[in-house]
């Protein structure tokens, strides 16, 4: 990591000045002046040496704080807490030989890691699921001290080839590490999405880097594709991974396929309600007494001050919300993401309680049977089943095969039990059945319970198995220069009919849609935090920008345009601000039409190019408008050093737009196709072509 230290820069300038040619002093200088100069020189040199020494030691301290704090803490805490950040010592102490690290943003990689860790018992091994953020990964070199030891990494890629938040420190360490990992055995499963430019970049990097550091790969890198069927990719890799482990270590499967509970249920009959979680993500009562800093484990409850429908017609509901962050110390920049923690629909929650004959208001805890685990509960406990199903558990996504496998034992009808086991098996027929009956039919857990009348699991085991409800990310649609005390969201409600005739609704967008400002005198609150992004306006306001964002992809550009307009008002020289926006119909879903027209009129928006895809027989998209203006686009890129920004759908739009840029560059830059591709890729590397896309 390079540190650009301003103190050093100033010192070097000063040192350069003090060493200037003495002949520049006037010839009539007296001896007295000369001696005065030499004294000044001496004083200056002493001052410089003193300052340099101070800077040197000060800099060391500055650098050492982030890099070595963890290690110092480990040493001091090892006597009192057993050195919790040392995973090798922990494995030795608890008799484990497999550690499964996960880099997870939405919980899937964590889920896969836990499944692999749980699998280990079938092979006479013991696994430890581990969050790299909680451990010191420099201990990896000591893993070979444990016989038949293995490190597995389930690594998701986030955004444009980035590590997930919890794997950032691990990634930084890997880049800078100069350790010998010979003797360490490893395997990697990556979680990615093929619609993204940097497919599975993190999984690929970890796999390659561990090998470079001397570790031995015992099974090939697995590449899961969320654009296809991530669950199937994982199962296919896993069913070949374990035989490879057995062969490498000379062990055999014990044949023990029985279900093992990870948590035990404790029902609290006379619990003090002040000690019961009611939806908080971290600290108990954190929603009653809010304390900064606010982050994923400590979200801020932001009041909704505005919630308006953006579209004039059509079947969809597109909305603009404003969240008040006054007094929260929450800071954001244009291009950042706001994460919100939604709540499940109470109707679905009640139906699950009803079908399982459970009292949802029972106060309970699920306690980890593995006392050494860092994860004491699957979600904040003690709490009620109602709270767990409303705020902590994902009840709307189709369950993964491991959930079906564990639930099968509770089906009293042999046929239903057989179907559940079949879907959880690795047989081709079983995979196909799971894909059609669960995934393609979008059956959530309630639909499965409704369609399998004999399946009535205990509600506590169901709560143990369901994945955590994740925060939803939205590109911020405002500029903090113009709106320092509010964050704007632009979203479209998700609602569709499944193959079984059920109406499925998006959790977060349905919940946000119902957030009415100050309803009956009560504030509508949204638990939120800000996630920093690389999607940034150019450092120099005079640099031109080309923004492409159809549909709700307009969101970050509303913030960008607001900021460029503000900079203009401050008297700054602002370069061309060009927007390519697209929607279905001008009269139905032209988002922020008034605002964009006004910005264009005032000159803050140099060009406003809008594609209405369905207002004519021939469909017109943003890439068609780019082609129409190709000469001007090339001029802005090549001569104006413009920055390009793309936001919206990754699967089709982002790819089509990128191909259009290849064509423009090839034609006007007189390049071959491979050269044009290379030119655009270089723009990406330089940070001049940025994407904020989703699939």
In CATH, the number for domain 545-693 is 3.40.50.80
* CATH of range 291-342+471-533; options 2.40.30.10, 2.30.30.110, 1.50.40.10, 2.40.10.10: 2.40.30.10
Known binding residue 109? Answer is: yes
Confidence category of residue 13, pLDDT binned at 50, 70, 90: very low
Q: What is the pLDDT of residue 209?
A: 97
Known binding residue 475? Answer is: yes
For residue 636, pLDDT beyond 90 = yes
Please list the residue range(s) of the chain that carry CATH number 3.40.50.80.
545-693
In CATH, the number for domain 344-469 is 1.20.990.10
Known binding residue 609? Answer is: no
Please list the residue range(s) of the chain that carry CATH number 3.40.50.360.
87-249
The predicted-structure confidence for 306-361, as pLDDT tens digits, reads as follows 999 999 888 899 999 999 999 999 999 999 999 999 999 999 999 999 999 999 99
DSSP letter for each residue of 539-585: SSTTS-EEEE--GGGGHHHHHHHHHHHHHHHTT-----EEEEEEES-
Average pLDDT of span 33-47: 47
Active site residue 692: yes
* Cα within 13 Å of Cα(276), Cβ side: 19
Confidence category of residue 578, pLDDT binned at 50, 70, 90: very high
Q: Which CATH class name applies to 87-249?
A: alpha beta
In 3D, which of 472, 483, 492, 629 has the Cα closest to residue 550? Answer: 492
Which candidate in 55, 173, 566, 694 is catalytic? 694
Average pLDDT of span 424-444: 94
Active site residue 418: no
In 3D, which of 10, 27, 113 has the Cα closest to residue 467? Answer: 113
Of 300 and 29, the one with more pLDDT: 300
Known binding residue 156? Answer is: yes
Please list the residue range(s) of the chain that carry CATH number 2.40.30.10.
291-342+471-533
The predicted-structure confidence for 651-675, as pLDDT tens digits, reads as follows 899 999 999 999 999 999 999 999 9
What average pLDDT is seen over the chain?
88
Among 275-279, 295-299, 513-517, 518-522, whose mean pLDDT is lowest? 518-522
For residue 607, pLDDT beyond 80 = yes
In 3D, which of 635, 230, 601 has the Cα closest to residue 434? Answer: 230
For residue 287, pLDDT beyond 90 = yes
In 3D, which of 312, 216, 226, 292 has the Cα closest to residue 593? Answer: 312
Of 57 and 135, the one with more pLDDT: 135
For residue 54, pLDDT beyond 60 = no
Which neighbouring-strand residues pair with 545? 577, 643
3-state secondary structure of 105: coil
Of 76 and 504, the one with more pLDDT: 504
Active site residue 694: yes
Contact 168, 131 (CB under 8 A): no
Confidence category of residue 371, pLDDT binned at 50, 70, 90: confident
The Cα 3–Cα 10 span in angstroms is 14
Average pLDDT of span 508-537: 93
Known binding residue 106? Answer is: yes
Which DSSP letter does residue 347 get? Answer: H
Contact 533, 336 (CB under 8 A): yes
The model carries a pTM of 0.84
Total count of residues recorded for the chain: 695
Active site residue 475: yes
Please list the residue range(s) of the chain that carry CATH number 1.20.990.10.
344-469
Q: What is the pLDDT of residue 522?
A: 83
Confidence category of residue 43, pLDDT binned at 50, 70, 90: low
Which candidate in 324, 336, 576, 692 is catalytic? 692
Which candidate in 365, 647, 649, 690 is catalytic? 647
Average pLDDT of span 214-230: 95
C-alpha pair distances (Å), 644 with each of 68, 91, 315, 557, 661? 39, 49, 32, 12, 10
Q: What is the pLDDT of residue 256?
A: 65
């Amino acid at each position: 990591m390079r540190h650009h230290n301003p103190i050093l820069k100033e010192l070097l300038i000063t040192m350069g000045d003090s060493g200037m040619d003495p002949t520049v002093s006037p010839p009539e200088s007296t001896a007295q002046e000369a001696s005065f100069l030499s004294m000044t020189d001496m004083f200056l040199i002493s001052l410089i040496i003193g300052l340099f020494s101070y800077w040197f030691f000060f800099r060391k301290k500055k650098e050492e704080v982030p890099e070595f704090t963890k290690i110092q803490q480990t040493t001091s805490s090892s006597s009192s807490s057993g050195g919790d950040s040392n995973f090798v010592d922990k494995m030795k102490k608890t008799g484990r030989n497999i550690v499964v690290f996960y880099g997870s943003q939405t919980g899937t990689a964590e889920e896969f890691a836990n499944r692999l860790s749980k699998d280990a018992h079938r092979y006479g091994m013991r696994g430890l699921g581990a969050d790299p953020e909680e451990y010191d990964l420099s201990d990896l070199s000591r893993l070979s001290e444990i016989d038949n030891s293995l490190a597995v990494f389930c690594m998701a890629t986030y955004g444009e080839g980035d590590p997930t938040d919890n794997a950032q420190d691990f990634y930084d360490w890997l880049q800078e590490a100069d350790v010998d990992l010979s003797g360490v055995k490893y395997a990697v499963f990556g979680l990615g999405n093929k619609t993204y430019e940097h497919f599975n970049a993190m999984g690929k990097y970890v796999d390659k880097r561990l090998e470079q550091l001397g570790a031995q790969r015992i099974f090939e890198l697995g590449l899961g594709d969320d654009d296809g069927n991530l669950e199937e990719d994982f199962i296919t890799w896993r069913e070949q991974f374990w035989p490879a482990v057995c062969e490498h270590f000379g062990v055999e499967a014990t044949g023990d396929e029985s279900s093992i509970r990870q948590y035990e249920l404790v029902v609290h009959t006379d619990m003090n309600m002040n000690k019961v979680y009611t939806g908080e993500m971290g600290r108990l009562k954190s929603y009653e007494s809010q304390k900064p800093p606010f982050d994923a484990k400590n979200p801020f409850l932001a009041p909704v001050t505005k919630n308006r429908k953006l579209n004039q017609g059509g079947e969809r509901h597109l909305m603009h919300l404003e969240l008040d962050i006054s007094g929260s110390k929450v800071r954001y920049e244009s291009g950042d993401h706001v994460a919100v923690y939604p709540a499940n629909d109470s109707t679905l929650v009640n139906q699950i309680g009803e079908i399982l004959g459970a009292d949802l208001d029972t106060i309970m805890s699920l306690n980890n049977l593995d006392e050494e685990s860092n994860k004491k509960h699957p979600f904040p406990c003690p709490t009620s089943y109602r709270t767990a199903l409303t705020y902590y558990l994902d009840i709307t996504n189709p369950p993964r095969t491991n959930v079906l496998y564990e639930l099968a034992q509770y089906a009293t009808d042999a046929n239903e039990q057989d179907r559940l086991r079949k879907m959880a098996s690795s047989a081709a027929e079983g995979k196909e059945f799971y894909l059609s009956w669960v995934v393609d039919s979008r059956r959530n857990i309630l639909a499965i319970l409704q369609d399998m009348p004999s399946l009535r699991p205990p509600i506590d085991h169901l709560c143990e198995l369901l994945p955590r409800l994740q925060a939803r990310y939205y590109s911020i649609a405002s500029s903090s220069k113009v709106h320092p005390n509010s964050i704007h969201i632009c979203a479209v409600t998700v609602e569709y009919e499944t193959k079984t005739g059920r109406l499925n609704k998006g959790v977060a967008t349905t919940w946000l849609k119902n957030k009415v400002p100050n309803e009956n005198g009560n504030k509508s609150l949204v638990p939120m935090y800000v996630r920093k992004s690389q999607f940034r306006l150019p450092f120099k306001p005079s640099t031109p920008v080309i923004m492409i964002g159809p549909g709700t992809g307009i969101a970050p550009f509303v913030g960008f345009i607001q900021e460029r307009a503000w900079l203009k008002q401050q008297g700054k020289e602002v370069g061309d601000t060009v927007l390519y926006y697209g929607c279905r119909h001008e009269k139905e879903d032209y988002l922020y039409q008034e605002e964009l027209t006004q910005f264009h009129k005032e000159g803050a928006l140099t060009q406003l190019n809008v594609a209405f895809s369905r207002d004519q027989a021939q469909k017109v998209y943003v890439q068609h408008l780019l082609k129409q203006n190709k000469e001007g686009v090339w001029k802005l890129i090549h001569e104006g050093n413009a920055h390009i920004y793309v936001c919206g759908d990754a699967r089709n739009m982002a790819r089509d737009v990128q191909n259009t840029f290849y064509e423009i560059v090839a034609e006007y830059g007189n390049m071959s196709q491979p050269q044009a591709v290379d030119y655009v890729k270089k723009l990406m590397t330089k940070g001049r072509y940025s994407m904020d896309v989703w699939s």
